[in-house]
């Protein structure tokens, strides 16, 4: 369901963002969510005329729950921020992990381009609002892979290393780019008692 939090998606887009899930299992999950009225299936108007899945108003209300689970899971001693992540997932993680105190008086429009999918974020003291859309007229633009962006933000991988490997490029004021990368701290991990 989290893959639909940023708007309607085609079946092929959902499947691409959920590696390892078979078409049959994804179809069953979507049908189950549709039966429970958490999402609807509809056809886009011409010339596209593609079928998309979209959350209902009630489905969108689950985002705070998804965020709470995301913050809880990020505290796990087994959480590995270096694992592959989809574009939607990294965008939702930004909405979840943003530290508003670190944002301060910043007001920035940020573009994210991952292949043929792009998103635009409006960042200010209230957080970051992200929607699918062309990354034009943005103060900052990150172009590359979601995995590389997550590595820069959550894994501390230097941007110049990622750029040198052709995985992530950042456009905009370098000081603003550097500051943006610090706005999403992971919570401290839980320390488990000894066995």
Each residue of 105-134: b (16+ CB within 10 Å) or e?
eeebbbbbbbeebbbbbebeeebbebebee
pLDDT, tens only, 120-176:
999 999 999 999 999 999 999 999 999 999 999 999 999 999 999 999 999 999 999
Query: Which residues does 156 contact at the CB level (< 8 Å), separation at least 6?
Result: none
H/E stretch holding 80? none
Residue length of the chain: 195
pLDDT, tens only, 84-104:
888 999 999 999 999 999 999
Torsional class of 64: left (φ above 0), alpha (ψ -120 to 50), beta (otherwise): alpha
Handedness of CA 5, 89, 51, 27 (dihedral sign): negative
pLDDT, tens only, 10-39:
898 888 888 788 999 999 999 999 999 999
CB 21 within 8 A of CB 15: yes
Q: 20: buried, middle or exposed (CB in 10 Å: 19+, 13-18, 0-12)?
A: exposed
Closest CA relative to residue 6, chosen from 114, 168, 126: 114
Which pLDDT score, from 0 to 100, does residue 2 have?
67
d(CA 44, CA 47): 8
d(CA 133, CA 110): 11
Scan for tokens 């699918």, then name that residue.
132
Radius of gyration of the chain from its Cα atoms, rounded to whole angstroms: 18
- The pTM for the full model equals 0.87
What domains lie within the chain, and their CATH numbers? 2-61 (1.10.10.10), 66-180 (3.30.1050.10)
- DSSP character string of 11-46: HHHHHHHSTT--HHHHHHHHHHHHHTTSEEEEEPPT
Which pLDDT score, from 0 to 100, does residue 82 have?
81
């Amino acid at each position: 369901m989290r893959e639909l939090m940023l708007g309607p998606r085609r079946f092929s887009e959902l499947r691409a963002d959920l590696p390892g899930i078979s078409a049959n299992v994804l179809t069953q999950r979507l049908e189950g969510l549709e039966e429970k009225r958490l999402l609807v299936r509809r056809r886009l108007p011409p010339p596209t005329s593609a079928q998309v899945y979209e959350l209902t108003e009630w489905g969108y209300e689950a985002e705070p729950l998804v965020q709470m689970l995301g913050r809880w899971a990020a505290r796990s001693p087994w959480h590995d921020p270096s694992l592959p992540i989809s574009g939607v997932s990294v965008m939702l993680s930004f909405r979840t992990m943003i530290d508003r105190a670190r944002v301060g008086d910043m007001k920035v429009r940020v573009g994210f381009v991952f292949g043929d999918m792009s998103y635009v974020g409006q960042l200010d003291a209230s957080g970051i609002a992200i929607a699918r859309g062309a990354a034009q007229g943005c103060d900052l633009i990150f172009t590359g892979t979601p995995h590389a962006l997550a590595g820069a933000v959550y894994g501390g991988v230097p941007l110049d290393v990622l750029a040198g490997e052709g995985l992530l490029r950042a456009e905009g004021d370098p000081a603003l780019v550097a500051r943006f990368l610090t706005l999403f701290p992971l919570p401290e991990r839980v320390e488990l008692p000894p066995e």
